[in-house]
Amino acid sequence: MIDVLSGLLVLAGVGFYLAGSIGLLRLPDLYSRLHALTKADNLGLGLLTAGLALHSQELLTVLKLLLIWLAVLSASAASAHLIARYARRQETKS
């Protein structure tokens, strides 16, 4: 039962990653690509870590996975902000 649930969560996470990658390839401009990639990848990672946390044996592993997700969340949000701000400045300059 736990295995099935964990497998479903991991598959859903992979699906979100796939959606983010398709967005990266198909969307027209930088901002929409950045938006799709950041949001989809963060949620995908959250589902992935939830699926792995269900499978883990001890509480410490669950906490470590949660910490990983939070760290990646804030780092990708900050870097997406920086890229978008830089692109905006390049646009308004030229």
Partner 1 sequence: MSATNLLVLDGLLVISLVGLAWAALAGSDARRSVILFMAFGLVLAAAWVRLLAPDVALAEAAIGSGLAGALLLAAVQEQPRQPLAARTASNSNPNKPGLSVALQLAVSVLCAALAGTLAWALAHAFNSAPQNALPRAVSSNLEASGVSNPVTAVLLNFRAYDTLLELAVLLTAVLGIFALGPARPGYQAAGPVFDGLARWLVPVLILTAGYLLWVGAHAPGGAFQAGATLAAASVVLRLAGRHQIGLPQGRALRIVMAGGVGTFVLIGLGLLVTGRPFLGYPPAWAGGLILMIESAATLAIAATLVLAFLGGQPRPLAVRVTCGNTSATPGPTGKPASPEGMRGAELRAAEVCNRIPETQKRC
Long-range interactions of 17-23: CB distance < 8 A, separation 24+? 17/41, 17/44, 19/44, 20/44
Q: How far is the CB of 32 from partner 1 (least distance, A)?
A: 18
For partner 1, the closer of residues 26 and 81 by Cβ is 81
Stretch that binds partner 1, among 2-10, 40-48, 50-58, 73-81 (CB under 8 A): 73-81
Q: Which two tokens stand for residue 21?
A: 């990658």
DSSP letter (8 states) at residue 56 = -
| Segments in the chain forming alpha helices (H) | 2-26, 30-55, 59-93
Among 5, 8, 11, 71, indicate the residue that binds partner 1 (CB under 8 A): 71
Stretch that binds partner 1, among 2-10, 22-30, 42-50, 75-83 (CB under 8 A): 75-83
Q: What φ, ψ does residue 27 adopt, rounded to 5°?
A: -75, 150
Do 47 and 24 contact (CB within 8 A), yes or no? no
- 77 scored as a contact of partner 1 (CB under 8 A): yes
For partner 1, the closer of residues 26 and 85 by Cβ is 85
Residues at the site binding partner 1, with contacts judged by CB under 8 A: 71, 74-75, 77-78, 81-82, 85
